Amino acid sequence: MRHKPRMGNDLRQQQAVTQLLQRGKQDEAWRKIRSHLTLAPNDGWFLHEAARLARRAGDIDTAQRYYQRALTLSPQDAGLLNGLGLTHYDAGRFAEAEQHYRAALQAHDRYAACHNNYAILLHKQHRYSAALHQYRQAMRIQPDYTEARYGMSTLLAHMGQLQEAESQMQRVMHERNGDRRCQNALGMVQLQQGNFAAGWRNYQARYATDNPERFFTLPELPIRYWQGEDLVGMTLLVRTEQGLGDEIQFCRFLSRVKSEKHAGKVIMIGNAALKPLMASLKDVDSYLIREDKHQALPQADYWCSLLDLPQHFLNSPQPFNADVPYLSSAPEHQAKWPIAGTGKKIGIVWKGSSAHKNDSQRSLSHLSELATLFSVPDTHWVSLQKGAGEEEVNHFPHLQPLGAQFTDYQDTAAVISQLDLVIGVDTSVIHLAGALGKPCWVMLPAWARDWRWLENREDTPWYPQMRLFARGQDEEWSTVVARIKQALQQQ
Q: Other C-beta atoms within 10 Å of 180: how many?
A: 19
Whether the per-residue pLDDT at 4 is higher than 50: the answer is no
Instruction: Give the closest residue to 473 by CA, choosing from 159, 133, 155.
Output: 159
- Tell me how far apart the alpha carbons of residues 468 and 234 are, in angstroms, rounded to a whole number: 39
pLDDT one-digit tens code per residue, 288-315: 998 877 788 899 999 999 999 999 999 9
Going across the sheet that includes 224-225, the strands are 224-225, 302-305, 235-239, 265-270, 286-289
How far apart (Å, rounded) are the C-alpha atoms in residues 122 and 295?
A: 45
pTM attached to this predicted model: 0.90
Give 61-71 pLDDT, tens digit per residue: 989 998 999 99
Cα angle 259, 264, 268 (rounded to 5 degrees) comes to 85
Distance CA 27, CA 130 (A): 40
DSSP secondary structure letters along 325-380: --S---HHHHTTSPPPSSSEEEEEE----TTSTTHHHHS-S-GGGGGGGGGSSSEE
Given a contact cutoff of 8 angstroms between Cβ atoms, the answer to whether 380 and 342 are in contact is: yes
pLDDT at 286: 95
Average predicted confidence (pLDDT) for the chain: 92
Boundaries of every domain in the chain = 6-207, 224-313, 331-490
* Residue type (1 letter), 426: D
Listed in sequence order, the residues at least 6 apart from 255 whose beta carbon sits closer than 8 Å to its beta carbon are 281, 282, 283, 284, 326
Instruction: Work out the end-to-end distance of the chain between its first and last CA atoms, rounded to an integer number of angstroms.
Output: 99
In this structure, how many other beta carbons lie within 10 angstroms of the beta carbon of residue 296?
7
pLDDT value of position 124: 95
198-227 pLDDT, tens digit each: 999 999 999 999 999 998 999 999 999 999
CA–CA gap between residue 316 and residue 119 (Å, rounded) = 43
Report the DSSP beta bridge partners of residue 394: none
Domains 6-207 and 331-490 share a fold: no
Instruction: At 261, give phi and psi (nearest 5°).
Output: -100, -5
Q: What is the CATH number of domain 331-490?
A: 3.40.50.2000
Architecture category of domain 6-207 in CATH = Alpha Horseshoe (1.25)
Please give the share of the chain, as a percent, with pLDDT higher than 90. 79
Could you read off the pLDDT of 316-351 as tens digits, one per residue?
888 998 788 999 999 999 999 999 888 999 999 999
pLDDT, position 412: 97
* Predicted confidence (pLDDT) per residue in 451-480, tens digit: 999 999 999 999 999 999 999 999 999 999
Tallying the residues shown for the chain, one arrives at 491
pLDDT of res. 3: 39
At residue 2 the predicted structure's pLDDT band, cuts being 50, 70 and 90, is very low
pLDDT of 358 reads 84
Q: Judge whether residue 371 has pLDDT over 70.
A: yes
**Measured between alpha carbons, how far is 374 from 441 in angstroms, rounded to an integer?**
16
- pLDDT grade, residue 5 (50/70/90)? very low
pLDDT at 14: 66
The yes-or-no verdict on residue 6 having pLDDT over 60 is no
